[in-house]
Structure 1
């Protein structure tokens, strides 16, 4: 399987938690130049409007950068306009503005030579009981994606689900709920971004979700990172969940996934740009490990159904 690596442009700038800021701040033009220096990077995932500009001020710079565009990421959380929600905002005018952002991003994606936008509706959902009307939110979300996907059929819309953050509970927290939404909308160009870190904090078996999304014909995009299953730390790949990551890669090979793999990776310690390059190398080593075990041995492990034997054989493959 050919590997196409994309860098999320937001990962190449500063990163802040509640207490500290890590990595240097860089504007979009600087981050483009940095991305070009990363060995193994085939493309970038710019953000609308924060990178590309509301009116496309940075479109030409993006076209001229010499890198492919894996997708245009639509940010519907960062502006004060969306404080009470984007697709689920009680104000119909704000909901329409969110839809307009999506349509503009689709047009930009086509102009940049990619057939996909990705969106994570982080500001849509609820924080506590009796906070929102769940019937209204669900209907508004279906209607919004219905209108967006009908804007043009040559650009796919990929939904990146997440359990929580910004909202305590996001309206699309899981693969199952997101696939259900896709079915309710019914558009062929609506699918799912499987972010490994998001699957982990939702408590999912990420490989099983890959299988379900593929069977539904809606696996459009994959993001890789890692965390401790408690919060979305966007840590380097396989730094904690080695075997889960390896199983996801095996399932991607089994289904012949040939789409983009994007990396949403931050590091508090060390050079952030170097960490992205190291992550690409880690992925190559994981593929080498799968090849060392071999497909027949992997299938035999599954068929045997023996936890102890599987653990033994996986550990032996590392020696």
Structure 2
């Protein structure tokens, strides 16, 4: 299995929570150069509009490194205008701006040589009972995405689901809801970004989530990271849920996934570039572990061996090597 590594350059920028700033702001040019210096990196994921204020300059910066653009990540959460939602904002003018932003991101993606825009609508949801009109909110989301997807059929729109943060409840909290949304929109170019960490905090089995999205023809993009299932900590893959990571890679390989693997990994302590390097090395090691166990053996464990025996055999693989 060959991994197509993509670096989310926004993660090399300033990082802070509501208490502490952990990493300072870094100019875009420096971040792109840092991404290009990482061994194994083949692409970058750019945030729109932040990383594309000057589209031509950014395109040249990326071209100079020889990297590809894996996706344009539409940010409809950070600006004040999105405070009450983007595609589901009660204000029709704000909803219009969200749709136009997605259409602009699609145009931007095409001009940068990628056919993919990923969007995580973290401000579209609610915190309290009776805070929003669920009927209206769901209808607005469908209508907005339908209009945006019709803008052009040569660029795919990939919805990244997440159960919570920044809202206590997000309108697309899990893979099933997101797939249902795709069906309701009815556009062939609408699909799913399966963030492994988001799947974990949603109580999902990431491998199953990937299989479901693929079966529907909607698995467009994959983000890898890890957490303790309590919060989206964006840790190095395999640092907590080792076998879930290997299982996800096994099933991605089994379904013939050849798309990008982008890494949503933040570091509070140490150098973010070094953390990304560790992430790429960890992913390669996870694939090596999968190779070590063997695909045929994995198939045998799934079909013919009890869960207890399978666990013992997998652990023995680590001990004997």
TM norm structure 2: 0.96
* TM-superposition CA deviations, 1:187-236 (whole Å, max 9, x none): 11110000000000100011111111111000000000001111111011
Alignment match, 1:266: 266
Alignment match, 1:180: 180
1:48–1:54 CA contact under 8 A, matched in 2: no
Q: Distance in 2 between matches of 1:94 and 1:193?
A: 24
Structure 2 CA distance for partners of 1:188 and 1:70, relative to 1, 3 Å? same
- C-alpha deviation, 1:258, in angstroms: 0.2
Structural RMSD (CA): 1.4
- C-alpha deviation, 1:61, in angstroms: 3.4
- C-alpha deviation, 1:160, in angstroms: 0.4
1:193–1:222 CA contact under 8 A, matched in 2: yes
Alignment match, 2:10: 10
1:115–1:155 CA contact under 8 A, matched in 2: yes
Alignment match, 1:200: 200
* TM-superposition CA deviations, 1:272-312 (whole Å, max 9, x none): 10111111111111111111111221112112352211110
Alignment match, 1:102: 102
Alignment match, 2:91: 91
Q: 3-state DSSP class of the match of 2:50?
A: coil
Alignment match, 2:33: 33
Alignment match, 2:21: 21
1:227–1:234 CA contact under 8 A, matched in 2: yes
Q: Distance in 2 between matches of 1:267 and 1:166?
A: 19
* TM-superposition CA deviations, 1:115-141 (whole Å, max 9, x none): 100000000011110000000000000
- Give unpaired runs (5+ residues) of structure 2: none
Q: Distance in 2 between matches of 1:249 and 1:2?
A: 11
Q: Distance in 2 between matches of 1:134 and 1:300?
A: 46
Aligned length: 319
- C-alpha deviation, 1:55, in angstroms: 7.1
Alignment match, 1:132: 132
1:63–1:112 CA contact under 8 A, matched in 2: no
Q: Distance in 2 between matches of 1:270 and 1:311?
A: 34
2:62–2:68 CA contact under 8 A, matched in 1: no
- C-alpha deviation, 1:54, in angstroms: 7.7
- C-alpha deviation, 1:66, in angstroms: 2.6
* TM-superposition CA deviations, 1:222-252 (whole Å, max 9, x none): 0000011111110111110101111000000
1:191–1:220 CA contact under 8 A, matched in 2: yes
Q: Distance in 2 between matches of 1:289 and 1:210?
A: 20
- C-alpha deviation, 1:59, in angstroms: 4.2
Q: Distance in 2 between matches of 1:91 and 1:63?
A: 39
Segment drifting more, 20-29 vs 252-261: 20-29
Segment drifting more, 116-125 vs 57-66: 57-66
Segment drifting more, 56-65 vs 220-229: 56-65
Alignment match, 1:157: 157
TM norm structure 1: 0.97
Q: Distance in 2 between matches of 1:81 and 1:99?
A: 13
- C-alpha deviation, 1:32, in angstroms: 1.0
Q: Distance in 2 between matches of 1:314 and 1:274?
A: 30
Segment drifting more, 48-57 vs 285-294: 48-57
* Residue 217 in structure 1 maps to residue 217 in structure 2: yes
* 1:290-305 matched pairs, under 5 angstroms: 290-305=290-305
Alignment match, 2:312: 312
